A and B are shown apart, each in its own frame.
Chain A
Amino acid sequence: MTMPGSSPGVEAAQSADTALPLGRPGRGAWASRLGEYAGFGPALVLFGLFFLVPLGLIVCYSFWQTIDYNVVHHWTVDNYRYFFSVPTYVRTLWATVWVSVAATALTLVLAFPFAYWLARYVPKRYQKVLLILVILPFWTSYLLRVYSWLTILGPQGAMNRFLHWTGATSKPVSFFLYDRPAVILVLVYLYFPFAALTLYASLERFDWNQFRAAMDLGATPGTAMWRILLPQIRPGITTAVIFVFIPILGEYLTPQLVGGARGVMIGNLIVNFFQGAQYTRGAAAALLIAALIVVLLAVFRRSLEVEDPYGT
């Protein structure tokens, strides 16, 4: 539930300058300085040694070589060259981007009317409860949320049974499972709460009087929405895009369980590389995801700066 728009600690940190550190006069400046930062100690070990160092290691690995199952510290771009020389891998990379874009777009298209309804038409006192209801599935097991679709999709799944029962189909259709549409459907399901929450957070702050004023001045609702509402909630939309797109890029489980052979994404390639002990090639593939994330953040940097979800 800790979303960019509402992450409390991030906002918390911003006015820290107003809080004077407690230090007894007379104690050495160094000691008090050190005491001030001591709390970071354990976090430094945890995030430094077990988060930043491993990520750096992956970067190195992607430029090293594997010879006879041993990693040799010999700098090369062979791993990347290899990745792009295999048509299946390149196709998977593009498929991943395509699936991520489609799923993100669909999530936002589904979430926007919902957030709009919640922020504009629901009485204030019910908004919080209805919002918690949306987030609730998000707090249950990620694995189970993917798994639950296996009971719905597929030739034996609830959907097929239902269609059969209504007479829409005469025999089971396999369209629903083990293909890309199923992957997109489940991804939308998984990340809908992210989008709904972020969009609601920015719509909630919008002053609807501006909307009414625009219409009084002759704007159609469409124009008012396009020219008054959208520019103001654009940072919220950007945040939603980023926070839906990034985890989808690294998805492994969804394509693995409901995607079948045609729904493979780059996450599955990475896992295959690592399970096959091809660490350097796997690292290169993992770095491709990281590169895509960096590109995405760079593209959206400007609109992020406007809202500044980190409260800097």
Chain B
Amino acid sequence: MARDLDIVSRRGRLTRGALSVWALLIYVFLFAPIVLLVVFSFNANRYGTFPITGWTTKWYGQVFHDYQIRDALTTTIRIALEVTLVSTVVGTAAAFPLVRSRLPFRSGIRIALVLPIMIPGLLIGVSLLVLFTNVFHQTLSPTTAVIGQSVYTTPFVLLLVAARLQGFDASLERAASDLGANTFKRLRYVVLPLLAPAILAGALFAFTLSLDEFIITLFLIGSHNTLPIYIYTQVKFGITPEVNALAALLLAASLCLMALAFVLPGIVRRALRLVPRRAG
């Protein structure tokens, strides 16, 4: 028996060691491309790849002085803000009946609401392209891109807010109702402060997803550019250090926003603990 355990544990140690090495390699695999991209963006070499011939920040300077990039940045941010607004409102509103009402076909509705995340973006893109150009006879514009992206980002907000709403004690709201609060007051002083962290996280998610969205935008943006579309058109002609610098900036932006999406809700939650007192 003791010998058995010994074998097991020795083998266990070996397995554990091998698996740890495996996991380390996985992390290298996941991060090497991203890290290299950032390293190349500081490389003086004009070809945007090895060898490293010196360190420079001049590519970043060129990024900021390129008017095409500035245009694309403006469009990107405008679209991202609109997408954030649309998906936050639509997602939050839909979370209420999804969690609270007696729904017929609940599972069907639920799947329909999550489907836009599941199916390839390509299908969303081409189907909306057909709708806008052949049925509505619309010119493609940033607005059509906003609609397309919102279809994809809204389910994320919906899921986040629904989760929060689920963990929320409905008796609080009934208590407010008993104390004479009308629907508006209940929403303003009870429900929204409690949901605020989830709504905020959802908004940040939506913004980040919109910032990085590529395939739906490609079909619906028309003659405008967002940053991912701009990078895509540049990359067709090869790697340039300017694109590396722009890419590194975009990476940093997404990572910061995601970090915010994880950290901010906690801060807001703590800050909002004061609200009910003020309301009283």
Give A contacts to B, CB under 8 Å.
2, 7-13, 15-17, 19-22, 24, 36-43, 46-47, 50-55, 57-58, 61, 71, 110, 113-114, 116-118, 121, 130, 133-134, 136-137, 139-145, 147-152, 156-158, 161-162, 189, 192-193, 196, 215, 221, 243, 246-247, 249-253, 257, 267, 270-271, 274, 279, 282-283, 286, 289-290, 293, 310, 312
The reply to whether A151 and B106 form a contact with Cβ atoms under 8 Å apart is no
Flag B126-145 by CB within 8 Å of A: 1 or 0 each. Answer: 11111100110000000000
Complexed CA–CA distance, A223 and B186 (Å): 58
B10 within 8 A of A: no
Contact of B101 among A16, A192, A310 (CB under 8 A): A16
Ranked nearest first, the 9 interchain pairs of A and B with the lowest CB-CB distance are A250-B120, A8-B163, A9-B162, A12-B166, A9-B159, A54-B127, A148-B33, A43-B94, A117-B19
Cross-chain contact A41 with B93 (CB below 8 angstroms) = yes
Cα A53 to Cα B128 with chains together (Å): 9
B130 proximity list for chain A (CB < 8 A):
54, 57-58, 61, 279, 283
Nearest-Cβ distance from residue A220 to partner chain B, whole angstroms: 10
- The residue of chain A having its C-beta at the shortest distance from the C-beta of B243 within the complex is A147
Task: Establish whether residues B106 and A13, one from each chain, have CB atoms under 8 Å apart when the complex forms.
Answer: yes
- In the complex, are the beta carbons of B161 and A9 less than 8 A apart? yes
Q: Across the interface, do B162 and A8 meet the contact criterion of CB distance under 8 Å?
A: yes
Residues in A with CB closer than 8 Å to B101 are 16, 21, 36-37
- Listed stretches B63-71, B251-259, B267-275; interface member: B251-259
The CA-CA distance from A151 to B247 in the complex, in Å, is 12
Given contacts A21-B100, A162-B50, A293-B119, 4 further A-B contacts (CB under 8 A): A9-B166, A117-B16, A141-B228, A147-B247
Contact B122 A113 (CB under 8 A): no
Q: Could you tell me if A145 and B126 are in contact, using CB atoms closer than 8 angstroms?
A: no
The range of chain B's interface size is: 35 or more
Check B22 against A57 for contact (C-beta < 8 Å): no
List chain B residues, Cβ under 8 A from A250: 119-123
Contacts of A267 in B (CB 8 A): 120, 122
Q: Which residues of B contact A270 (CB under 8 A)?
A: 122, 126
Contact check, B90 vs A46: say whether CB atoms are below 8 A apart: yes
Complex Cα–Cα for A22 and B40 (A): 58
Q: Report B-chain residues with C-beta under 8 Å of the C-beta of A151.
A: 33, 36-37, 40, 48-49, 239, 244
Q: A16-B101, A40-B97, A286-B126 are in contact. Are A113 and B19 (CB under 8 A)?
A: yes
B100 to chain A: closest residue by CB: A19
Given A19-B100, A158-B50: A39 and B94 interface contact (C-beta under 8 Å): yes
Contact A145/B34 with A11-B166, A150-B235, A151-B40 known, Cβ cut-off 8 Å: yes
Q: State whether B98 touches A121 (Cβ < 8 A).
A: no
Q: In the complex where A19-B170, A36-B101, A43-B94 touch, is A54 in contact with B131 (Cβ < 8 A)?
A: yes
| Majority secondary structure, B binding face | helix
**In the bound complex, how far is the Cα of B35 from the Cα of A149, in angstroms?**
11
A100 CB to nearest chain B CB (Å): 11
Verify B127–A58 contact, CB threshold 8 A. Answer: yes
B111, closest chain A residue (CB): A310
- Cα–Cα, bound, A162→B96 (Å): 55
B215 CB–A CB distance under 8 Å: yes
> Given that A250-B121, A250-B122, A290-B123 are contacting pairs, would A152 and B115 also be in contact in the complex, using a CB cutoff of 8 Å?
no
Rounded to whole angstroms, the CA-CA distance of A283 and B154 in the bound complex is 25
B23 interface contact, C-beta 8 A: yes
The answer to whether B129 touches A274 (Cβ under 8 A) is yes
